[in-house]
């Protein structure tokens, strides 16, 4: 293939060669996907229908659930189809790269905004209503989604503007930028380094903001006289901290691993960890530590069960 214009599709890497293992991977991914759909769907429904959850914290959690649904739906359905078909069209690959980076980066920005929400709620509770009103929350959410679009356009355009002449076999189960850059016949290292540097500064800035917010939060919590008050206040931050840690640790481990580690099976596992696991377990993390959310989810389940019973 002389250049990218002659490429009409890409070959994706299957998880196994034998039919039995392919079916096992299909069943495993199907279970993860259905769990993610159910968990995020319940959170969306609970927040939408329970007026007690119409607060800034749950508004941003609703955005997070939407992003998790989109992120896992971008990669996993195609991965489940690999046991039957291992190709993706050129336009489909472009769309997959765009939406994956758009949703993933927007999720990180939303997590950054959520740290600000916790900071204001704990460190400046008297100003919470004025600093995080409905208009301010909508503007911050719009800024996060808009920044994600710009970030995804930059990476997608930069990647697919390169001439691709090293075949069309992507060494991953979905269209991932590092795997696509390996197919380029030009010297893509400078562009890749530039993009990584830009992304590094952007994500580092968000990380520093999150870190600064929680330093202030911990200082405020330690000034609370009662241990019960400290525990109750800190418990509202623990789910967000766990989600941020899961998001950053899996992504950093996948992209910053030593170059000497290049085993295909290990790369697949690492990619699954950062692209599939966070969207699947974020809802579990939040529901385990949040009594209000658990109660709202129980109401939604009970309401659906009663409607089914009346329908029968």
Burial class (CB in 10 A: 0-12, 13-18, 19+), 311: exposed
Note whether 20 and 74 are within 8 A (CB): no
Pick the residue with more confidence: 208 or 18?
208
Whether the pLDDT of residue 312 is over 50: the answer is: yes
Q: Which of 157-161, 175-179, 299-303 has the lowest mean pLDDT?
A: 299-303
Ordered by where they begin, the domains of the chain are 4-311 (1.20.1070.10)
Whether the pLDDT of residue 220 is over 90: the answer is: no
Helix, strand, or coil here: 263? coil
Local confidence band at 249 (pLDDT 50, 70, 90 cut-offs): confident
Local confidence band at 147 (pLDDT 50, 70, 90 cut-offs): very high
d(CA 128, CA 300): 29
Pick the residue with more confidence: 119 or 201?
119
Pick the residue with more confidence: 132 or 295?
132
User: pLDDT per residue over 152-162, tens digit each?
Assistant: 998 888 888 87
Note whether 50 and 127 are within 8 A (CB): no
Q: Which of 27-36, 94-103, 142-151, 246-255 has the lowest mean pLDDT?
A: 246-255
pLDDT score of 189: 57
pLDDT score of 286: 79
Helix, strand, or coil here: 78? helix
pTM, 2 dp:
0.86
Whether the pLDDT of residue 1 is over 60: the answer is: no
pLDDT score of 109: 93
Q: What does the chain come to in residues? A: 312
Helix, strand, or coil here: 87? strand
Helix, strand, or coil here: 89? strand
Residue 276: which of 296, 305, 250, 308 has the closest Cα? 250
d(CA 210, CA 252): 16
Whether the pLDDT of residue 171 is over 90: the answer is: no
Note whether 274 and 250 are within 8 A (CB): yes
Whether the pLDDT of residue 262 is over 70: the answer is: no
d(CA 47, CA 286): 13
Helix, strand, or coil here: 8? coil
Q: Which of 90-94, 131-135, 185-189 has the lowest mean pLDDT?
A: 185-189
């Amino acid at each position: 293939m002389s250049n990218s214009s002659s490429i009409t599709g890409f070959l994706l890497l299957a998880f196994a060669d034998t039919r039995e293992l392919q079916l096992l991977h299909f069943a495993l991914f199907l279970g993860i996907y259905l769990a993610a759909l159910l968990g995020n769907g319940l959170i969306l429904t609970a927040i939408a229908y329970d007026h007690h959850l119409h607060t800034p914290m749950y508004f941003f959690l609703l955005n997070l659930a939407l992003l998790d649904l989109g992120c896992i739906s971008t990669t996993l359905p195609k991965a489940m189809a690999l046991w039957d078909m291992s190709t993706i069209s050129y336009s489909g690959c472009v769309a997959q790269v765009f939406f994956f980076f758009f949703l993933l980066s927007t999720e990180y920005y939303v997590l950054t905004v959520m740290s600000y929400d916790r900071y204001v709620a704990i460190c400046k509770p008297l100003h919470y209503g004025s600093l995080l009103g409905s208009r301010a929350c909508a503007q911050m959410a719009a800024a996060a989604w808009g920044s994600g679009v710009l970030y995804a356009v930059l990476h997608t355009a930069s990647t697919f503007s390169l001439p691709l002449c090293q075949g069309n076999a992507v060494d991953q189960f979905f269209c991932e930028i590092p795997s696509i850059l390996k197919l380029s016949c030009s010297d893509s290292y400078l562009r890749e380094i530039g993009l990584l540097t830009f992304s590094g500064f952007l994500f580092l800035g968000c990380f520093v903001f999150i870190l600064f917010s929680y330093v202030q939060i911990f200082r405020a919590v330690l000034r609370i006289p009662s241990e019960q008050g400290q525990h109750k206040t800190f418990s509202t931050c623990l789910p967000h901290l766990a989600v941020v840690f899961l998001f950053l640790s899996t992504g950093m481990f996948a992209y910053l691993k030593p170059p000497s580690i290049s085993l295909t099976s290990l790369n697949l596992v690492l990619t699954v960890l950062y692209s599939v696991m966070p969207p699947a377990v974020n809802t579990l993390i939040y529901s385990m530590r949040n009594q209000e959310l658990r109660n709202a989810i129980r109401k939604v389940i009970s309401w659906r069960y009663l409607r089914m019973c009346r329908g029968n």
